Structure 1
Amino acid sequence: MQAFRSSAQRATQDMRVVFPQTPCQRNDHLSALFRADIWLKREDLSPVRSYKLRGAFNAMRKVEQASMFVCASAGNHAQGMAYMCRHFGVPGVVFMPVTTPQQKIDKTRIFGGEFIEIRLVGDYFDATLGEAQAFCARVGGHFLAPFDDRDVIEGQASVAVEIEAQMDALPDRIVLPVGGGGLAAGIRSYFGDEVALTFVEPEGGKSFAAAIEAGGPVTLNKVDNFVDGAAVARIGAAPWEVLKDTPRGDILAAPENRICTTILDMLNVEGIVLEPAGALAVDALKDIADEIVGTRVVCITSGGNFDFERLPDVKERAQRYAGLKKYLILRLPQRPGALHEFLDVLGPEDDITRFEYLKKSARNFGSVLIGIETKQAGNFDALFRRLDDTGFVYRDTTDDQILAEFLI
């Protein structure tokens, strides 16, 4: 452990030539909300708005000879490698899925400048990764893995080095996100058992928890990619060796829709822009609220590469999680006055945000998709009672994922 600590400290010192340490700030809003001393390690304020440039720097500086660096990524890892290619003055090729948003492509190109080439290959990441690895083998390049690399893990440990230097005493707990496990393994390797660690995965990508339960890394059959910075189907082999004795109770899963409420809260209250993976640690405070009262907690906000085109979807998910928005399929009688009768059932705080006939040809009844927003979740209970009392037939489809894909 001491050897790792020393090497991580040296790596951190060397990084200062490239970029300054990120702030570790006490957050008054969260501290009051959870009755604890809450600090944020602001990796969203790094030059590439995530911690990924740390591992890229450390791994790339240790490669003595490479014709070029190659990676496959649709986001933060690509930007981190591109930034370091420009710093070291070495060529790099970044493979991205064809479906990568233009904003991420443009940012990667800006960070790498003339030193990188971007290739858009494959509709899904697995195809992109395969093409990247095959290309790397053909040209004799160095493939830079996003997390399954001991030098990358050592680089990510610089987050822990900075936390230790920035605080007057070690925190009681650090809450951090887990995707492939590079950051988690780095923090764990540096602090050992000195600080309690709480690991957070997205509900739709619990590869770490699955590995603990199975006794080794397993590949998830399905992954929800909404939390794209941490939705990984299989935890890395190198991180697993560090993390394999983690108690199952130290691993939490954050629901994707609840994460959206945290993103909006941090944006509206604090003016802090977090991507879904960057909000994981803050969101998980809700699950450990009773345990952390009166303690000092550091949450690692791991990234802020948020595409604001996603904001309407984030708001929608947050409202649905909070019970403030629902979608109903209403069986509406095909006669004059029926719609007026329905409108009379709505409460003073209920607002129709969508109204669409799904079936207009029926002689007696028509199916209508209705989206309703309200100001208090309890308003829907009262609305449903009034609908039942007046004889309207309806179905709440808010949580029906299959119908939502087709209708919403």
Structure 2
Amino acid sequence: MSDFQDNARTAEAAMREVFPATPLLRNDHLSARFDADIWLKREDLSPVRSYKIRGALNAMRKRRDEGLFVAASAGNHAQGVAWMCRQFGVKGVIFMPVTTPQQKIQKTTMFGGDNVELRLIGDYFDDCLAAAQAFCASEGGYFLSPFDDEDVIEGQASVAVEIEAQLGRVPDHLVIPVGGGGLSSGILSYFGNQPNYTFVEPAGGACLRAALEAGRPVALPRVDTFADGAAVAKIGARTFERLQGVGLANTLSIREDRLCTTMLEMLNVEGIVLEPAGALSVDALKDLGQAIRGRTVVCITSGGNFDFERLPEVKERAQRFSGVKKYFILRLPQRPGALKGFLELLGPDDDIARFEYLKKSARNFGSVLIGIETKAPDSFHRLYAALDEGGYTYQDITDDEILAQFLI
């Protein structure tokens, strides 16, 4: 057994003084759907509803004499550090983006209490990362990286220690979400090449893929913060050193809109609340097909810190991705009966979700923003055929990001 494996097991044992092992649960719904033996490692059920408490605990237990811990986080690492600051009776200053969901800000404040000072800076994780590092340089304190720290990586590897003990063996296939790489590099370092791996990233923050293509960590020019728990512009240097040999074929990038369909499915079918990053591993099953059929697969549901105020957005994005909700701009003649004529084209399953005149003038035609929800994507083929036959002028703007963000 390697020194890293020994250290990961020591870290896992130390965690039992703070919280019980998170459950590894077989999921019958997913197992039947994908014809495999699917297990979920429920990191969304840790005390801070993510695996981030592990790295924070392991690093901080080794440095309890430090006077001050400083962290930068999009939310989950902040909660782990805050929890452990109060647990160990030490002080912490935590930097978070201004755009962090309120649920994560409130929980961080609650977990840390008087032991933690929270500072909201910048729109992206990398903004508050720079601010936290500058604070350490000028004010002192130990900077606790959310992923690029050997003790944090070692702490996250405790997930693998628990999986092996709970399953009784190494699984055939592991599906692991990737942000900065702390969890994935820790598990890979513990299990080595025994299982097959799939490393999953949000398409708007695929920093591992970018690093593999470049042969080194590189900064993404733009990051979509929807999957904030994994939306990192640049993978860590230490984590990439461990991940650089995984190969592009073992990585997946998942569109954020598609991720929403899995979040809704897990909530509605299984009653499991997952944040966007926490749903990555489950969503990836859709792309694995024959590679996992008949095999034992463990998906790590890395976090459940979801603000239900975001649920309408998740539903909206899921519907648009699934093709059951579309928006288009329609030109209607400014005459009596024109609207009635359009409404008669709708089918029994078509509901108007949005109707707004964009121009109100004395012109012969006016532009209308229409949003339609239906039960099956094929309904739109029939509707558009009827519009064409009726001589209507219209433009589908569902996938036009600029127009959609401005109008919807």
TM-score > 0.5 by shorter chain: yes
Partner of 1:291 in structure 2? 291
State whether residues 102 and 307 of structure 2, in contact with CA within 8 Å, keep that contact through their aligned partners in structure 1: no
> Does 2:71 align with 1:32?
no
Counterparts in 2 of 1:211-290, with a 5 A limit?
A: 211-290=211-290
Q: Is this contact kept in 1: 2:179–2:232, CA < 8 A?
A: yes
1:101 CA drift (Å): 3.4
Q: How many angstroms does 1:132 deviate by? A: 1.8
Listed one character per residue, the Cα deviations across residues 238-286 of structure 1 (whole Å, up to 9, x for unaligned) are 0011010111100011111110000000000000000000000000000
CA drift at 1:123: 4.0
In the alignment, the residues of structure 2 paired with residue 126 and residue 173 of structure 1 have an alpha-carbon distance, to the nearest angstrom, of 32
| Cα contact 1:330–1:393 (8 A) shared by 2 | yes
Two-structure CA RMSD over aligned residues (Å): 1.1
Shift of 1:394: 0.4
Distance in 2 (alpha carbons) for counterparts of 1:169 and 1:362 = 74
- 1:76 and 1:134 map into 2 onto residues whose CA distance is 21
Once residues 262 and 102 of structure 1 are traced to their aligned partners in structure 2, the CA distance between those partners, rounded to angstroms, is 22
Q: Is the 8 A contact 1:174 1:195 kept in 2?
A: yes
Deviation at 1:131, TM superposition (A): 2.3
Conservation of the 8 A alpha-carbon contact between 2:103 and 2:306 = no
Q: What's 2:354 paired with?
A: 354
CA distance in 2, matches of 1:120, 1:218: 25
Equivalent residues of 2:124, 2:225 under 8 A apart: no
Q: Distance in 2 between matches of 1:139 and 1:328?
A: 54
Offset at residue 361 of structure 1 (A): 1.4
* Separation (CA, whole Å) in 2 of partners of 1:90 and 1:374: 54
Verify the 8 A CA contact 1:73 1:96 in the aligned structure 2. Answer: yes
Residue number in structure 1 paired with 2:41: 41
SS in 1 for 2:118: strand
Distance between the aligned counterparts of 2:270 and 2:173, measured in 1?
Answer: 22
Matched position secondary structure for 1:329: strand
Report Cα offsets for 1:141-165 as digits up to 9, x if no partner: 0011000111100000000000000
2:126, 2:233 within 8 Å by CA — same for their partners in 1? no
Gaps of 5+ in 1: none
SS in structure 1 opposite 2:132? helix
Matches within 5 A, 1:63-78: 63=63, 65-78=65-78
Q: Is the 8 A contact 1:174 1:197 kept in 2?
A: yes
Q: Distance in 2 between matches of 1:140 and 1:390?
A: 71
Q: Which AA in structure 2 matches 1:155?
A: G
1:328 match: secondary structure: strand
Q: Secondary structure at the match of 1:272?
A: coil
Q: Give CA deviations for 1:87-140 in whole Å, capped at 9, x if unaligned.
A: 111000112233433322221111112211112233443332222222222222
1:84 Cα deviation from its structure 2 partner: 0.6
| CA deviation after TM superposition for structure 1 residue 293, in Å | 1.0
Identical-pair percentage: 68
Change beyond 3 A, Cα 1:117–1:205: same
For residue 228 of structure 1, give the secondary structure of its aligned residue in structure 2: coil
Q: Partner of 1:204: helix, strand, or coil? A: helix
SS of residue matched to 2:344: helix
Matched with 1:401 is 401
User: Retained in 2: the 8 A contact 1:67–1:140?
Assistant: no
Q: Structure 1 residues 127 and 209 mapped into 2: Cα distance closer, same or farther (>3 Å)?
A: closer
Report if the CA contact (8 A) 2:329-2:395 is conserved.
Answer: yes
Read off the aligned partner of 1:47 and give its amino acid letter. Answer: P
- The amino acid of 2:307's aligned partner reads D
1:184 counterpart letter in structure 2: S
- Counterpart CA distance in 2 for 1:362 and 1:180 is 56
Deviation larger for 137-146 or 157-166:
137-146
Equivalent residue for 1:20?
A: 20
Residue pair 1:203, 1:255 contacting (<8 A) in 2 also: yes
Q: Residue deviations 1:32-56, cap 9 Å, x none?
A: 0001100000000000000000000
C-alpha contact 1:325 1:372 (8 A) present in aligned 2:
yes
Distance 1:169 1:342 in 2: 62
Instruction: Give the TM-score of the pair, scaled to structure 2.
Output: 0.98
- Give the aligned residue type for 2:204: G
State the distance in 1 between where 2:193 and 2:121 align.
43
Counterpart of 1:175 in structure 2 is: 175
User: Secondary structure of 1:366's match?
Assistant: strand
Where structure 2 has 5 or more consecutive residues not aligned to the other structure, the ranges are none
**Is 1:332 the equivalent of 2:332?**
yes
Given that 1:66 and 1:140 are in contact with CA atoms closer than 8 Å, whether structure 2 keeps it comes out as: no
1: CA distance between counterparts of 2:220 and 2:88? Answer: 36
The corresponding residue for 1:374 is 374
- Larger mean CA deviation between 276-285 and 126-135 belongs to 126-135
Label 1:123 to 1:209 Cα distance change in 2 as closer, same or farther (>3 A). closer
Q: Which residue of 1 aligns with 2:146?
A: 146
Name the amino acid aligned to 1:218: V
Q: Whole-Å Cα distance in 1 between the matches of residues 362 and 157 of structure 2?
A: 64
Q: TM-score, normalised by structure 1?
A: 0.98
**Alignment check: 8 A CA contact 1:334 1:366 kept:** yes
Q: How many residues align?
A: 408
